[in-house]
Chains A and B, each alone.
Chain A
Amino acid sequence: MQKYETVIGLEVHVEMATESKIFCSCSAKFGGEQNEHVCPACCGMPGMLPIVNKHAVDLGMTAGMMLNCHINRVTTFDKKSYYYPDLPCSYQTTQWFAPVCVNGTVTIQTANGPKDIRIKQIHMEEDAGKLVHDEWTDTSLVDFNRTSVPLIEIVSQPDLSSAEEVVAYLERLRSLLRFAKVSGCRMEQGSMRCDVNLSVRPVGSTKLGVRTEMKNMNSLSAIVRAIEYETARHIDCIESGSDELVQETRRWDDIKGKSYAMRTKETAGDYRYFPDPNIMPIVIDDEWYDRIKASLPEFPEVKKERYVNELGLTEYDADQLIQSRQMCDCFEEATAQCGRAKEVANWLISDCMKILNKKQMTVDALPISGKALGKLIALVADGKVGSANGRKILAAMFEEDIDPLTYAEQNGLIISNDTDNIKAVVKAVVAADPKSVEDFKSGKEKALMALFGKCMRELKGNCDPQVLRTVLLETING
């Protein structure tokens, strides 16, 4: 019987996938040359005024609706003051008094069945810049590219009780937010980061223990290690009666596998929040609310059920597809075009994935249109294009936006019904390779495959395999 239980609440920061920053028109893209995406506003020069990016509000509302939140119809922005060189104004514009979303739930699957994790609120805010430390010259340089990139912070109630649940929760958040195209949620790029609030108490106790916070965790495996370490540390302190357990912010060092104290409650700054007088309260009217509501995607598990029950996919195939909204969209569009759900799933899961992997692209960057894929699959299924040539066309579709039929015609990839031509080619191949013919006649089935392959190559794949086989056998057998 376990003596202690862990109580965990998470604050998850997610960068929203907007084109531009939250209060200026600079690009919000990840990467770029240092200080390439900056303007007087996002590097804190006086005189620029914040103009709220409406698309960021759209995505904030979308996130809230995906997580069953109540949407505050009047939402405001507030200023949070603290000094840090990566924060050019020395204040962060965030939502303190009236965040865009409150009171939601996220359902996760645990060993003991489904569990609801309550969401306290989701608020929008601007990201800070980045400090680059140069050990060699002992200086720190500031990169403001990330400054003012729109974020949402999703604050959960302390409803999580293990590292496994935290992982399930984060994966669920990632899946829902990616599905709704709120964010790419790439932990490795920092577009999803997480603060872990953790305390430990004896099983059965209703009083929360002393809470510590570990900031800016950005990998699932590090989060698991940090939770396990911190839980053990709390238990040790409780058992030994150590006074080292205090409410504080800690830094997790994943290489050393230890957490270190950063600042305690006593030394923590007062953020001096107040409403930003330069940003009028944002009023979300029914029209705006309904527009966002109508734009929400099906939940992934609803899609899966539909794919299996209505479109006849296997559970495995459906699971593969619902990993990504882009895959689902492409699948649905292609299926609507050609009516062949199973083939579409196969092409996507095996052929398209192969090309993506080769190109080192993620599924979110799937560049082909579902409509074109559907047309291609129809061409192959109808026997107009051979399957090997179909794959060639698919590869070409990853390079440019082409119509499969036009491309096939222009590149001589259409199956020909000209049997005279087939016969002539077969005759020539058979004549040039008497050894294989002898081998086949003496019972080596493989030799036929070699001849078949040669003929197919000569015909550039533009031949119905059944027809070719028949002609080949006829020719050999005289």
Chain B
Amino acid sequence: MKLMINEGSAGEKRVALDDLILTKDLPTTAGSKMLDGYVSLFEAEVATRLQKAGYTIGGKANVGEFAIDLLGETSYFGACAKEDGTLVYAANELLEKGEVCAALQMDVNGAPRRAAALAGQYYVKPTYGTVSRFGTIPVACSGETVGVAATTAETCRQVLAAVAGYDEKDGTSLPQSMYTQPKDIKKVAILADITAAADADTQAKVAAFQAFLESKGIACEKVEVECMSAAKTAWNALMAAELCNNVSRYDGVKYGYRTPNYTNIDELYTGSRTEAFGDVLKTMILFGSDVLSTNNYEKMYDKSLRIRRVVAEAFADLFTKYDCVLLPACAKQRYTVEDVKADQYLACQEALFTAPASITGLPAVIAGGVQLVGPAFSESSMLDVAQCYGKEGK
């Protein structure tokens, strides 16, 4: 089990970076044979800010190939699993072992949220546009964000503060003037229909968190929002489309893996990509290509964009009455090597829980094995709740 693909510096305040966040000193592989040994000429903005704030880069945490899988199982460097076959996510395992105090993770398809919930750790996925994506290997740019995992909510907050803020090198970065003041969380909506799709253990986690919230005088109400589950299908389509386009640059011409067996440019392209990409990634590339094809653009891509708007409007409607929503981050409490063998595309199903926040760019916080999703810029209020849970909830 390879947790760190490349060890960084020793020292105080070590932070692990998902291996999609570019560093100049260490290679960045995106968990793919294609980029095995690839060293970037420049560093991610978050890595620069992190070091400026006095943190050290502890190393590059193993991720699934381009971070679209369940828990890193598609990594070229191998899945991370316990002896009993339970899948773990590298960054969270590093936190668990105390090797790092925090991890910066790319949330493309919800894996870091899922993993933090399973590990009983904390994770904050910030509002889209508040943390620079400059220097992160692009996968699904319209929804992916850099988030922070840690064993306490307070650490999540501190590390997030170190890396967040406007960056002129990222065209989607929000200027500080657009930030709004978050409200304290007094009323929470529980997404009942999505919660019902999870198993009994997971539902029990949601119920326990509800009980904690109510013990703090925070009112909880069950709501059913039909369109929320459509976020899954729509995000899978958008993610695959953007992924397909973003990984098209890995063609064996300029850098990365190149097949030794070619006699012309077409063989160079197909040979390099066939030999260096894994099966799940290839499937997603084909799916994404199909989504964007002239025949399907209206039916799939454009429709997914419309679903994105409908989901965003449904959230906006909820936030007129509630300060955030509560839902599970995954369907069950343990996933094994056998599970992903039986269904390689399990992550696409699990997107039911994570896609609503991915597709809308809304902030999410993981605490107590469950997920809070709030309006834009509400992550600090949700972290208040998570911090309180850390002290009093367990």
A residues engaging B (CB < 8 A)? 40, 43-52, 79, 81, 83, 85, 88-91, 140, 142, 270, 272-274, 277-280
Contact = CB atoms under 8 A, between A and B. Distances in A.
B241 A48 contact: no
A92 to B, nearest CB: 11
B255 A90 contact: no
Contacts of A83: 248, 251, 269
A105 B136 CA distance: 44
Interface in B27-74: 30, 40-42, 44
Given A45-B254, A50-B171, A81-B248, 13 more contacts: A40-B41, A43-B254, A45-B255, A46-B137, A47-B135, A47-B137, A48-B135, A49-B170, A81-B292, A85-B265, A88-B254, A89-B248, A273-B297
A97 B371 CA distance: 37
Given A46-B137, A81-B292, A272-B293, A88 B171 contact: no
B110 interface: no
B181 interface: no
B393 to A, nearest CB: 37
Contacts of A278: 138, 141, 171-172
Contacts, number: 93
B245 A44 contact: no
B209 interface: no
Given A83-B248, A90-B251, A49 B292 contact: no
B302 to A, nearest CB: 9
A47 B41 CA distance: 10
19 contacts: A44-B254, A47-B40, A47-B138, A49-B170, A50-B171, A81-B248, A85-B251, A85-B253, A88-B254, A89-B248, A140-B265, A270-B293, A272-B294, A273-B292, A274-B242, A274-B292, A278-B141, A279-B171, A280-B172
Given A47-B22, A49-B170, A88 B245 contact: no
A46 B248 contact: no
B199 interface: no
Contacts of B253: 85, 88, 142
B249 A47 contact: no
Contacts of B246: 46
* Dominant SS among interface residues on chain B: loop
Contacts of B358: none
Residue among A89, A90, A274 with the most chain B CB within 10 A?
A: A274
Contacts of A270: 293-294
Interface residues of B, number: 38
A91 B171 contact: no
Interface in B124-157: 133-138, 141-142
B134 A274 contact: no
A147 to B, nearest CB: 11
Contacts of A81: 244-245, 248, 292
Contact of A89 (B134, B241, B242, B249): B249
4 closest cross-chain pairs (CB), A and B:
A277-B142, A272-B292, A90-B248, A277-B141
Contacts of B168: 51
A269 to B, nearest CB: 11
Given A88-B254, A274-B297, A49 B134 contact: yes
Interface string B246-260: 101101011100000
Contacts of A142: 253-254
A278 B255 CA distance: 23
Contact of B242 (A40, A47, A50, A277): A277
B169 interface: yes
